[in-house]
Amino acid sequence: MKKSKSLLALAVLLMGATTMSSCQKTKVTEKDGIEYTYIKEGSTKATNGNFLLYNLQITNGSDSVIYSTADQPMPGYLQANDSLPTNNGMDEIFLNLKKGDSIVFQSTAKTIFGANVPPFLKEDETVKVNLGAFEEMDEAGIQAYFEKVMAGEDSKRAERAVAQLAAEASTIEAYAKEKGLNVQKTENGLYYVIEQEGSGDVVTPGTTMYVNYAGYLLDGTLFDTSYPEIAKANNVFNEGREYSPLPVNVGMGQVIPGWDEGLLLLKKGSKAKFLIPSPLAYGESGAGAMIPANSPLIFDVEVTDVQK
């Protein structure tokens, strides 16, 4: 099966009907022998080069959802191309999909997923598929659709970030109180304590600052540091890594927003603590295995040098 690229706006699943009737057409793929039934059949195939948008839902034998475009910000799509080979039954179904098609079928997990059977499924386990193609677009049309959808997603993400900032404020303030920190707060929501004033000129965007740091989750877990002694104390020292101040071209988007804003408050020789709410850190995505989604972060930072 061609993997869905989730780059389009969410649409309502078209597979509301589940009752079969004698008037519905059933076909069998030449490869793998998948029997599939049209709840509704479209009229014409997409023009070569155009894009067909579809919704997809895959469930197991007990109807628990394994995958659904309804859970994604955007539906799937494929580009029509009559010259593509059909290597299996799933290819046959997808490459012959027409706008307006609404199809249901079931087979084994091995047949549906091929070599990519999810680890929680057995290869011979029954898997059910609902598939519906709802729109055909040329390249210009789909590009405009992408842009509209992404703008909408950006707006929703910004709204969620505002709500998340408000939700984490009390958590960060409680942490600061518990630790006896006399924090200040910027308009953007960054909490900080300047523990040692630096010297020299005020730093401006584009300035290179060299920064030693140690980053922690609120529970005290160290996730990264430039200090070898802190890495050793937390049993995360890496012999192959160079531990040295990090050069940052500040205010230019090279680092997380909380750092960009916080470093501009410092000078050469400054030491500070940043308490960064997740929207100013790694947000909804998190970062690797160490930083979960929506995690406020604590950074101890020291500016060792400033170069303009």
Same-domain check for residues 106 and 214: no
Share of the chain above pLDDT 90, in %: 83
Here the tokens at position 167 are 């939700």
Q: What is the mean pLDDT of the chain?
A: 91
Specify the residue for token string 């740091």.
Answer: 213
Residue 10 lies in a domain: no
- CATH number for the domain that contains residue 212: 3.10.50.40
Query: Is residue 57 in a domain?
Result: yes
Distance CA 91, CA 152 (A): 32
Asked if 218 contacts 204 with a C-beta cutoff of 8 angstroms, the reply is no
Would residue 15 count as lying in a domain? no
Element (H, E) at 175: helix 139-179
Query: How confident is the model at residue 245, as a pLDDT?
Result: 97
Is the confidence at residue 215, as pLDDT, over 90?
yes
How many Å apart are CA 80 and CA 146, to the nearest integer? 18
**Banded pLDDT at 23 (limits 50, 70, 90):** low
In whole angstroms, what is the distance from residue 272 CA to residue 256 CA?
A: 16
Query: Does the model's pTM come out above 0.75?
Result: no
Nearest to 298 by CA among 229, 195, 149: 195
- Residues 100 and 45 sit within 8 Å (Cβ to Cβ): no
Q: Are residues 174 and 48 in the same domain?
A: no
Q: Which of 117, 137, 157 is the last residue of a domain?
A: 137
- Whether the per-residue pLDDT at 297 is higher than 80: the answer is yes
Quote the number of domains for the chain: 2
**145 inside domain:** no
* The residue type at 190: L
217, part of any domain? yes
The answer to whether residues 83 and 196 belong to one domain is no
In a domain, 255, yes or no: yes
Are 197 and 298 contained in the same domain? Answer: yes
CA distances from 192 to 109, 163, 178, 224 (A): 52, 21, 15, 19
Q: Which of 167-170's residues contact partners 24+ apart within 8 Å by CB, and which partners?
A: 168/277, 168/278, 168/294, 168/296, 169/277
Whether 103 and 177 share a structural domain: no
CA 34 to chain centre: 33
In a domain, 19, yes or no: no
The answer on 190 and 284 residing in a single domain is yes
Taking residues 221-247, what's their average pLDDT? 96
Q: Which residue segment(s) compose the domain that 241 sits in?
A: 168-307
Q: Is the pLDDT of residue 13 over 80?
A: no
Residues 38 and 79 in one domain: yes
* Residue in the block written with tokens 């060299």: 210
Query: Residue for token digits 């929207």?
Result: 279
Residue 123 lies in a domain: yes
Query: Which percentage of the chain shows pLDDT scores above 70?
Result: 93
Residues 188 and 295 in one domain: yes
Specify whether 131 is located in the same domain as 212: no
**173 and 303, same domain (yes or no):** yes
Are residues 184 and 191 in contact, defined by beta-carbon separation less than 8 angstroms? yes
Q: Are strands 208-217 and 222-225 parallel, antiparallel or unpaired?
A: antiparallel
Residue 222 sits in the same domain as residue 127: no
Looking at the fold, whether 255 and 185 belong to one and the same domain comes out as yes
Of 115, 137, 159, the domain-final residue:
137
Classify each residue of 60-87 as buried b or exposed e, where b means 16 or more C-beta atoms within 10 Å of its C-beta.
Answer: beeeeebeebeebbbbbbbebeeeeeee
